[in-house]
Structure 1
Amino acid sequence: MWRHVASNALTLFVVVLAFLGGLIAWGQRQYVAEGPAQTSVCVRVERGANMAQVSRQLEEQGAISNATIFRIGARYQEQSGGLRFGSYLVPAGASMPQVLDILTRGGASTCGTEINYRIGVVLAEMVVRELDPETARYVETIRFNPATDAVPDGYLEVAQAEDTRFRVTLAEGATSWQAVDALRRAEFLSGQIDSVPAEGTLAPDSYEVTRGADRAALVDEMEARQSRILADLWENRSDGLPIDTPEEALILASIVEKETGVAEERRQVASVFVNRLNQGMRLQTDPTVIYGITLGEGTLGRGLRRSELDARTPYNTYQIDGLPPTPIANPGRASIEAALNPDDTPYIYFVADGTGGHAFGVTLEEHNRNVARWREIERERAARGIETDPETGAAVGEEDAEAEPEAAE
């Protein structure tokens, strides 16, 4: 009898072990298998949340198939207490180990709300946007200009949320005064900026910041980044350039930046100015004259007057030889590279072609034909009631509205 009982107990024990082994094997397969999410999921980890809460949330959102298996796996990998506060994008089909890594790795949030303060050539705008997990694209929810608009309803609530991300984007061609003026209006930054940095010394780029970040520290980072870019590109400059110092390269690059918003023609534009300098010709470029009038404090917003073109100022390159005394904007890396490695062309002239780009010429006769075509475009637009942007040469309303002034004729 006892043998019979022992035999049955042993059989039951083996069955239980087999069942547990199968259960463990099944759990392991579930843990490492492709996740159930058909599209990306934005998962918010609240401050102080524990693994049990988050695992249930993940299961409800369809990011994982089983909350219990996820918790056991996290415990096995010793990550039960490793959750990081924030909002994180979990890609479609992510396995549980991948999800766990995303939620415990730390770093900036990868989805949710972002506030991007865009400092442009014409204006600065605060743009609030949300990442749509299904499309992985941002959807804009709020946009306003802090200098002229009232703060929209809902902005402060979003800006004060713990996991909102902040970014400051400085556009190519914006001046140092414009950058500082805009930064002083950013409510999510703190501290003072005592003076406007030298023109051209700020790197146009996108800077991720945190709420309460110091304004002066951000400006220091912009200057440091521009200094590194200039030093790097100066070491790899072409031979035979009519510039002797990195500072002169920055001046030439700023003129290239303001002359064209078309990336493909930066090196051609640079070649025109290099050719003029090499031949002892004056640069004769409108953006430098404009800078002499505005000193970078905003845009002129109209065409130049004859009296302004005739006035002798340090920035009027119709009246002075060589480069102006300082940069006229903050050039981006591409314009600095174009100034230091221009195309090898015979071009001496260029004029707007009506698209935001330019028509280039070698001889004065060729240039005059290009100018005549441009004047005809202007007359046709005027007859049709279409306004021409005085700075870009493009029809108002066309793309490239933030490109800068075209070359003087």
Structure 2
Amino acid sequence: MPDNKFYPNPDEVSIDALLEETKMQIEAAPGEAVEYFHEVNPAPMGETQKFEPLQQPPQAQPMDFEPDFGDAFSDYGEYVPQQQPQYQQPYEPQYQQPYEPQYQQPYEPQYQQPYEPQYQQPYEPQYQQPYEPQYQQPYELQYEQSYVPETPEQEPITAKEEPKPKKPKRKTGKRIIPLFVKVLLYVVIVCVIAVGLGYGAWECARDVLAFGRSDEMVMVRIEQDDTVEDIAKMLEEKGIIKYAWLFEFYCDFTDSAAKIEPNKDGESYMLYYNYDYHALVSSMRNEVIRTEVRVTIPEGYTAEQIFKLMEDNGVCTVQELEQCASEYEFDFWFLEGIPYGEKNRLEGFLFPDTYDFYEADEPERVLKKLLNNFDKKFGDDARAKLDDLNLALEERWRNAGYDDDYIEDHRFTVYELMTVASMIEKEAAAFDEAGNISSVIYNRLCDPANYPYLNIDATVVYALGGEVGGALTLEDTKVDSPYNTYVTQGLPLGPICNPGLSSISAALFPTDTSYYYYALDMATGYHHFSKTYDEHKQFLEGQDYG
């Protein structure tokens, strides 16, 4: 554009200057400027632009100068809008709405105090929930088309980077957990101590008051030079007390040591396990001295024979023992189901052994001592072996064609086992015969169709009262008794004596044989075993039983 009065400086051209220059041209040539005037001044929106034709085209007047409109007009005299000129004043971008950064999902970090960034110009982004943006570098506003004047004083609009406030350390459980553990340990220790003290106090009380002790009697002897400590240890060894130190403390606390008197020569004190501390001290001072008696019960003795043996040794009378055996309620598992009322009710369980009793002893204590011994000898191992025996018998019965009901009804209990053992005890002439005799009994029991009767002579003797003058007769075998196996099928009513351990073992472990008969060989004193009746009959023909 040429340098003239309208355009003194192209860099300083403005809208106002352009309009002024256009107006002057219109005044100089009005006819030629109508069309341009209407172009730069269009009709209001909604109205149709009207142009009036010129009656006479104006004559062009010479101009003192040639204005240079540059590219403002086209070849057809139309105004062409030019690019917006630049301004001396800085460009200030305007926003209709504050800038809101968009996120796919709102990020919601949790802090004790929300962080609010500070800017030179007010910039307050709006969020539904407090947002704490994190920047690695200062935030710079970016614009697609914007003019930033280059002035030495103005700096780019950036977010002021301020030091981040230190976040307070969140309280963790490092202090709370140890405190909780300490409290828990304290409670546990207190409870353990309380329980321990309570248990210890209960055990001491049980020992002092003799809770849960048996009513059995025991003899003790106090020597002349025995101290309270010696007496306490002796009572502890015999099982009368549990804590010797507690008995010593009791004697010291109650001044009972001086009350205990030593025994005279050959005498002893009779004490009971259920005596408390006071009763023990009193018994070792005032109790009547009793004489101790040792009795040995042979294997195979009947209850009647044992009772007579006790009476002969001055322990108890036969009548006292028979009454106690038939009526007293003994608490033993192996006596369950055995009816009361019979004097031989305890037959089979009065274990043969050597015992210490006292003259004029209590019948309950005497019988309980024998039953306790059987309970100890016939322990859990023997019960397990009885289960094995039942399994073997069940298999044999099942192979013989018997149903489950028959097998269940004929399962062996300890009472039936002792019945078999008692017959073995009475029949066996020697220990090595016990297994074969046991096999004959079980072979017959497992084949009741062919061998309904056991035909054991010892059962006849028991049915006759235990005394037979000479050999059994045919009439003896016909005696009507549930114990007579010549007239009673299967096992007799119960045991016929009190067997020893060897006979019990033979009943649990019979020898595997095919024997069904046996008879005494008068020449050797042992029994001869046969598989068939013909063999057995032939053997009997060669014997002289008188």
What TM-score does the superposition give when structure 1 sets the normalisation length?
A: 0.48
Find the structure with the greater CA-based Rg: 2
What TM-score does the superposition give when structure 2 sets the normalisation length?
A: 0.37
Higher relative contact order (CA 8 A, sep 6+): 1
